[in-house]
Amino acid sequence: MKTKAKLAVVTLLAICAFSMLNAAGGDLPYYGSQLKDLDTLIEKAPGKTLFIKVDQAGGSSASINVQIHEFPGTIKEYMDLSKAQFAQFFEKGWKVLSEKQNEKEASCEVVGTTKGKEYHSYSRAVKEGNKLYVITATALHEQWGNVGEKMRRHVDAFKAK
Instruction: Look at residue 24 in the predicted model and tell me its pLDDT.
Output: 38
CB 65 within 8 A of CB 30: no
Mean pLDDT comparison of 29-33, 49-53, 83-87, 120-124, highest-scoring range: 120-124
Per-residue confidence at 48, pLDDT binned at 50, 70, 90?
Answer: confident
The answer for residues whose C-beta is within 8 angstroms of residue 8's C-beta and 6 or more apart is: none
In CATH, the number for domain 29-157 is: 3.40.1000.10
Instruction: Look at residue 77 in the predicted model and tell me its pLDDT.
Output: 95
> Cα angle at 134 between 131 and 135, to 5 degrees?
145
What is the percent of the chain where pLDDT is above 70? Answer: 80
Per-residue confidence at 20, pLDDT binned at 50, 70, 90?
Answer: very low
d(CA 159, CA 73): 21
Instruction: Look at residue 23 in the predicted model and tell me its pLDDT.
Output: 34
Q: Where are the domains of the chain?
A: 29-157
pLDDT tens-place string over residues 65-105: 999 999 999 999 999 999 888 888 888 789 999 999 999 99
